[in-house]
Structure 1
Amino acid sequence: MNGLIQGVKGLLSFLSAPLIGALSDVWGRKSFLLLTVFFTCAPIPLMKISPWWYFAVISVSGVFAVTFSVVFAYVADITQEHERSMAYGLVSATFAASLVTSPAIGAYLGGIYGDNLVVILATAIALLDICFILVAVPESLPVKMRPASWEAPISWEQADPFASLKKVGQDSTVLLICITVFLSYLPEAGQYSSFFLYLKQVMRFSAESVTVFIAVLGILSIIAQTAVLSLLMRSIGNKNAILLGLVFQMLQLAWYGFGYEPWMMWAAGAVAAMSSITFPAVSALVSRNADSDQQGVVQGMITGIRGLCNGLGPALYGFIFYIFHVELNESPENDAESSDSKKTESHSEQSSIIPGPPFLFGACSVLLALLVAFFIPEYRNMSVRPSSWKKLAGNHGHVHNSQLPSEAKEPLLQDTSV
């Protein structure tokens, strides 16, 4: 059921994220920030009201649950180019901070007061978030960046949900970045869906140890995505920071794959924190190479690729665990110790050479991403505009300067006869 839900949600996110980003380039960020946050949080109260409605809504919510593309476009609006890597690192670090605090808070409150209170509290926080956006978050897209009233706000080619696939192939830099994101995030998405259960069932971590592991990993990720990423961007540059993050991710996954002792998982977790610099570094590179009025659509393309991975990754990891006979089934806490020992012996017999086969597959995938990333240029203007932008001149008599590629803007300014 979880694989089906994530698959549907990921596919819908992949198709809708570029469109949501493109619309935010036209109509502003705030309204779409409200929309994406609302649909991301909408399934929460349904967890207790109706599980089947929860499954349905969380699947369909993938159409609008693409907050990252709007947030990163917002950051690009309000920061200078040299500030964006640090800003994207802060955005990713706050996400890591939520992963540090929420499992511990949920487990503590659920253990004392029950799951109902956890769902109620989560719903209240989601409503507070929406109110905060309404009251305290200003619109970031300048009015001069939006089309005039006589202009078509968005063409059908931009609104076509399958147009993102066409746009990827139109520019070699966009294509290389999208392939890098896909190959690196596919194993990461699969890891998120199974890793903590893997720690409990295969590595025999207790529930408390898993909570501490999440907290330590989250704290280290916050440090990596803020102070360390900022230092790396100044010293070795944007592209080299991406390559370094991919190297750390590959080492981390290989370590998880071959590790068979708890201390090895802890050591690999420290390496995993360093690998978290990859996504904010990629977002900074994409932002640097895109025009100011194209930030939403390019960030949406990257978010869409991540959404597709969120659908494919868990299914892929589950299939690999299955074919290698590594079972990740939750066992009741009151099972006899003899049963636990039999399971441990069974796991050790089945996977004595490679305890975590999916992680090794992930390491190979990241290695391919690393090879692709070598060919990404450090700086090159990307164009993800529809090929029909020239037709707008025939429709309206003239073309708004913000709708033209950067190489066409200067002649337009000089030639008053256009």
Structure 2
Amino acid sequence: MTSPPLANGARKAALAFIFVTVLIDVLAFGVIIPVLPHLVQQFVGGRTDTAAYWIGAFGFVFAAIQFVTSPVQGALSDRYGRRPVILLSCLGLGLDFIFMALAPSLAWLFVGRIISAMTSASFTTANAYVADVTPPERRAKSFGMIGAAFGVGFIIGPLIGGFLGDIDLRLPFWFSAGLALLNFGYGLFVLPESLAPEHRAPKFDWSHANPFGSMKLLASYPQVFGLAAVVFIANLAHYVYPSIFVLYADYRYQWGQKEVGYVLALVGVLSVIVNVLLIGKAVQWLGERRALLCALLCGAAGFTIYGYAYVGWMFLVGLPISALWAIAAPATQALITRQVGPDVQGRIQGALMSLVSMAGIVGPAIFAGSFGWFIGDATPVHLPGAPFYIAGGLLLAAAFVAWRFAPRTATVAASQPA
């Protein structure tokens, strides 16, 4: 069975609430993007190659923790509702940003990232929230609005982070802490619950509240399992951005914090355009399956341009092509949420987040490691764009899997697994 959609006015209000919640969280993360790698670089004596390896280690641990905790968060939201999970996430992030702002050493900063991984739940739960309040035929467009929140956050966040980071590398962490705590206050007084008591899981299910049980849950839905593989491969490719972009831009184009902030803001503008204006039309025109395939191919083309670009303006040429990749995630989410009922949406989203985290365990090692290797003294060939070539190949593989497994017709399955 599927969750009964809210009346149109109530649905729009609920989506507006979750949009603002995600937006503030993305702002908090976006603000620290331009400065975190440079803070790590400061702790390791200014060496770019050493900082790249440490950023890879940060990403590895963050993803490993989320791999374990995401299914727990999904199961909790299925049992007790989406609202308390989102609120705890916002509170935890706010306190953790304060911890990182005060970190006196690389080790303390590392501990702060571990705490961030444990408390980051709002993004996963937001997807389940959207599935709760939106009928299946409108979900791709609604997931696109969540993507737009990411885009707006990445327009404003890195710009603020670059500006504040030029004053003090610690200042963006204090600003992010204020945003996350503001989000907690907003949700505490405004955010409604989306999952009615009658649609909640009857008990907290430990068998699915662990990463291996969640993988078994995905496997029990054959239509979902192939799409889950697309989620994993595409997110593995996406980890090239947090793993190397700031250091790559500094190394190859001599872009500082402000320049990186401007580029990330442009990425955000393009993301908003795609998510707000193009996703609904693309899915309506092409269907979810073909929209997914076209988006993955555009992402692969964009990564190829990034890898080849030996001057900054060439990198910028790839941005609008790569931006069309944003269509893939809402199309995939819409296809997946059609296959399951409301009582397991949280666990399915938690399982998918575990796959994203699994990609994050592998991705930083691949991308930061290859970047450090191909710019290091021992490399047989100087190829700083190698990580982007690898990411483009991964998206081609994801397109093949999507072609093979994405359903050709739109169906809404029952809650019970096969």
Q: Post-superposition shift, 1:60?
A: 4.0
Instruction: Tell me which of 98, 109, 130 is aligned to 1:45.
Output: 98
Consecutive aligned runs of 4 or more in structure 1 exceeding 4 Å deviation:
380-383
Structure 1 residue aligned with 2:192: 138
Contact 1:28/1:140 (CA < 8 Å) preserved in 2? yes
What is the count of residue pairs matched by the alignment? 361
Distance 1:200 1:161, change over 3 A: closer
Q: Following TM superposition, by how much is the alpha carbon of 1:156 offset from its aligned partner in structure 2, in angstroms?
A: 3.3
CA distance in 1, matches of 2:257, 2:185: 35
CA distance in 2, matches of 1:49, 1:213: 28
Structure 1 residues 314 and 159: CA distance shift in structure 2, 3 A: closer
1:243 to 286, 293, 300: 293
Does structure 1 residue 123 correspond to structure 2 residue 173? Answer: no
Per mean C-alpha deviation after superposition, the further-off stretch among 49-58 and 274-283 is 49-58
Of residues 80, 87, 92, the one that matches 1:27 is: 80
Describe the shift of the 1:243–1:32 C-alpha distance in structure 2 as closer, same or farther (beyond 3 A): same
2:134 is matched with: 79
Partner Cα separation in structure 2 for residue 110 and residue 254 of structure 1: 30
2:221 and 2:200 map into 1 onto residues whose CA distance is 24
Sequence identity of aligned pairs in percent?
A: 28
Please report how far the alpha carbon of residue 377 of structure 1 lies from its aligned counterpart in structure 2 after TM superposition: 1.1
TM-score, normalised by the number of residues in structure 1: 0.79
Which range moved further: 77-86 or 57-66? 57-66
Q: Secondary structure at the match of 2:185?
A: helix
Secondary structure, aligned partner of 1:236: helix
| Aligned-residue offset at 1:207 | 4.4
Number of the residue aligned with 2:219: 169
1:316 Cα shift? 0.8
- Against the structure 1 CA distance between its residues 142 and 355, is the aligned structure 2 distance closer, same or farther, given a 3 Å change threshold? same
- Write the distance in 2 (CA, Å) between the matches of 1:94 and 1:275: 16
Q: 1:70 aligns with which of 108, 125, 135?
A: 125
Give, in angstroms, the shift of residue 184 of structure 1. 1.3
Q: Which of 252, 259, 262 does residue 309 from structure 2 map onto?
A: 259
Question: Conserved in 2, the CA contact under 8 Å of 1:17 and 1:300?
Answer: yes
Q: Contact 1:238–1:281 (CA<8 Å) still a contact in 2?
A: yes
**Cα 1:101–1:214 shift into 2, 3 Å:** same
Structure 1 unaligned blocks of 5 or more: 328-345, 384-403, 408-418
Go from structure 1 to structure 2 and tell me whether the alpha carbon gap of 1:382 and 1:300 turns closer, same or farther (over 3 Å shift): farther
Whether the 8 Å CA contact 1:286–1:299 is kept in 2: the answer is no
What secondary structure is seen at the aligned counterpart in 2 of 1:155? Answer: coil
Unaligned runs of 5+ in 2: 1-53
| Distance verdict in 2 for CA 1:116–1:291, change over 3 Å | same
How far apart, CA to CA, are the structure 1 residues paired with 2:257 and 2:99? 26
Q: 1:45 to 1:208 in 2, by over 3 A?
A: closer
Partner of 2:363: 313
Bigger shift: 4-13 or 198-207? Answer: 198-207
- Correspondence for 1:100: 155
CA RMSD of aligned residues (A): 2.5
Partner of residue 401, structure 2: 372
TM-score using structure 2 length: 0.79
Q: Which residue of 2 aligns with 1:88?
A: 143
Residues 54-63 or 17-26, more deviating: 54-63
- For 1:198, the equivalent position in structure 2 comes to 248
For the Cα contact (< 8 Å) 1:171–1:382, is it kept in 2? no
Contact 1:255–1:268 (Cα < 8 Å) also in 2? yes
The equivalent of 2:47 in structure 1 is none
